[in-house]
Amino acid sequence: MGNGLKNFKFYRSFRVRSEQNDKIFLRISLLHQNGNRQTLGQDTRLIDFNLFSLSFKSNIHIPIGTKVKIEIFTKKIFNKWDLEVEGFIIRSFQENSEEQTYNYGVELINQSEESELKYFITDYIAGFSGKKLKDFLIKSSLSVREINVDDGVELFGLLNVLYKEFSRSDISSLLDECAHLLHCEEVRVWKINLEKDKLENIYHSSNCTHIKDNSFNKGELGKCFTTSRCINTFLKEPKERDEDKFTLNNTLCLPLLNKERKCIGVLQFNNKKGGQFSIIDENMGHFLSLVIAKRFLNYIVKSKSTSIAHLNPELKDSFIYFGSTQKSSAIRTTLKKLKYGKTNVFIVGEKGLGKEFFAKYLSNNSEKDIFNCKDPAHLEKILSSTSNFSSEQTLIFKNIDSLSSSDQSRLYNWIQFQDCKFITTSCKDLIYEIKSGLFHKQLYKKLTQSRFHLTPLRNRRDDILTIANYFIRIECVKRGLAPRELSPESMQYIISHYWPGNITELEKVIKKTFMLTSHDCEVIDIEKEEIHGFKNIEERLIFSADTSIHPDKIMKMIKSETREKKVS
């Protein structure tokens, strides 16, 4: 593997710019392998620097890979400095062919946060004027160097070198280079196996051993694979791997995408040396994941039997939460984030909206138990249990609003000793129950790290036909019928009806219609009830109000709506 990746990292890294009037001088010596030393003339100038790299200008040609010793001394900064650093030339770029001037990039070696160079940089920045310091802070906060028009030729040449190196290098050398660039102990490539629904460790850097398959939806690897997002985690308590007794302290996971932009694997970096992975590491990791993914662009895998949603053509995202509106799409995105997160989720909504369905979906196929708080025996079973549930498990408590005050206190004391994820459901808005002293405030806070409110069907007029057509497709498939459509009158009725039983009522109505309709009929005509008319805006608000919201809040909304009407 050549210097392409090092070169690219150097190019994108942020370094402090040196001005000519700063009077920072360099004396550069080339350290040859035979032990000889060649000192360059005084025509060298420092361009920029940071703790691990620097660049300088010279009119002398120096081969890539040459080891150099750099003496830095100053005459103008607050404290006079005289220090030495060593490194290797990793990049060379000719700025002007007429002047024969070269820009060199040096990767410094044996540097740490306690090195003399750190204190030199600190002293240098401390001498900045107000405007210069402001500009410096803005640039450093962006973490990486901006690419401008003047960089075009250099960047094109650099990317060309990178492409050639990636095409010629074997994957093991590439992963070793990745480990070096991110200063971590090991790098692993995981690829999905749809026959097992597991992630397989197909490649790893040369200093580590092969380990067993990993579930596609568990741990940091699972979060990265199922969400196609970067996962950067620092473990509060280090974990020891059973296979090789490797102690994991922190991990950075990046998704590997094929040409259809589907996640088919994960690039994993483990144990950042001397700390945890930074935003700069994440940026570099994203680039490296694109490099590795190039080898899997044509890996197109799909299966109707897999439980991996994005690789199963029959499992659509829209099934999670129906609707074609922007709001419905945003809700689906939120649900996917909650599904793979570790936060406790509280689901509130009227009867018939599928709260238990969403609770099961958010459990992320982990081990789960469902407890109905309306059933005292069911609740007693869990509260009297002495076992501790692991972080990989999920407990679902239905109808949490049905708990008595004493059971609320018992449950709060019990969950203090559990590491698992909790998902709770309720038909009532518990915030008002807390204000009335009817619900345990600390228990609510513990169980409601994230809150998901389900909108009644009557308030989702833009989505209701999509939901109805879904149930129609199910009935057609179940009965072996050709696809059918609703009559115009039925469409209007579905949109206008109040639907007090919500989605459950709509599903029952469609099932009943199929039972009463002839198989030869191509159009579905739903049996209609009289639609309730409203005398005034207050009555309309009362009938359309969400019954899971406390009446006091509904009255405030009605009064607000009435005031706005009078003003207009």
Q: What is the DSSP letter of 387?
A: P
Write out pLDDT tens, residues 88-102: 988 887 766 566 788
Residue 334 Ramachandran class (φ > 0 left, ψ -120 to 50 alpha, else beta):
alpha
Tell me the three state secondary structure of residue 190.
Answer: strand
Burial of 527 (0-12, 13-18, 19+ CB in 10 A): exposed
Which residue in the block uniquely carries the two structure tokens 């038909």?
A: 427
Per-residue model confidence as pLDDT tens digits over 217-232: 778 888 888 878 889 9
Supply the pLDDT for residue 337: 77
CATH class of 341-454: alpha beta
Share of residues in the chain with pLDDT > 90 (%): 19
Taking a C-beta distance cutoff of 8 angstroms, is the pair 204, 230 a contact?
no
In whole angstroms, how far apart are CA 205 and each of 4, 186, 201, 474, 511?
A: 18, 6, 11, 49, 57
**Assigned fold of 166-295:** Beta-Lactamase (3.30.450)
pLDDT tens-digit readout, 154-166: 555 555 565 566 6
CB neighbour list of residue 348: distance below 8 Å, 6 or more residues apart:
355, 425, 426, 427, 428, 429, 430, 451, 452, 453, 454, 548
Tokens representing 491 are 């469409």
Domain boundary assignment for the chain: 2-142, 166-295, 341-454, 458-544
Question: What confidence tens digit (pLDDT) does each residue in 194-204 have?
Answer: 888 889 999 99
252 band by pLDDT with thresholds 50, 70 and 90: very high
Average pLDDT, integer, range 282-297: 85
How far is residue 199 CA from its own chain's centroid? 18
Please write the tens of the pLDDT for every residue from 463-520. Answer: 888 888 888 888 888 888 888 889 889 999 898 888 889 999 999 999 999 888 877 7
Q: Is the pTM of this model over 0.75?
A: no
Residue 370: band (very low, low, confident or very high) from pLDDT cuts 50, 70, 90: confident
Please give the structure tokens belonging to residue 435. 């204000």
461 pLDDT more than 90: no
Tell me the chain's radius of gyration from C-alpha atoms: 32
Residue 544 scores a pLDDT above 70: no
Q: Which single residue is written with the structure tokens 């360059």?
A: 40
pLDDT > 70 fraction of the chain, expressed in percent and rounded: 79
Q: How far apart are CA 249 and CA 269, in angstroms?
A: 11
Dist. CA 414–CA 403, nearest whole Å? 14
Q: Which two tokens stand for residue 30?
A: 């080339």
Q: What is the sign of the dihedral through the CA atoms of 323, 324, 326 and 330?
A: positive
Higher pLDDT, 528 or 255: 255
Q: Could you say which DSSP state residue 10 is in?
A: H
The per-residue pLDDT for range 400-423, each reduced to its tens digit, is: 999 999 999 999 999 988 888 899
Burial state string for 11-42 with b = 16 or more CB within 10 A and e = fewer than 16: bbbbbbebeeeeebebebbbeeeeeeeeebee
What pLDDT is recorded for position 136?
63
Averaged pLDDT score across all residues of the chain:
80
Alpha-carbon gap, residue 353 to 350, rounded angstroms: 6
Class (C level, CATH) for 458-544? mainly alpha
> Per-residue pLDDT for 26 more than 80?
yes
State how far the alpha carbon of 523 is from the alpha carbons of 471, 493, 497, in Å: 15, 15, 20
Alpha helices in 205-323 (DSSP H): 219-227, 279-293
Predicted local distance difference test score (pLDDT) of residue 426: 94
- Total Cβ atoms within 10 A of residue 169: 18
Q: Give me the half-sphere count of Cα atoms (radius 13 Å) on the Cβ side of residue 451.
A: 13
Q: Which architecture does CATH list for 2-142? A: Beta Barrel (2.40)
pLDDT band of residue 442 (cuts 50, 70, 90) is very high
Exposure of 428 in the CB half-sphere (CA atoms within 13 A) = 16
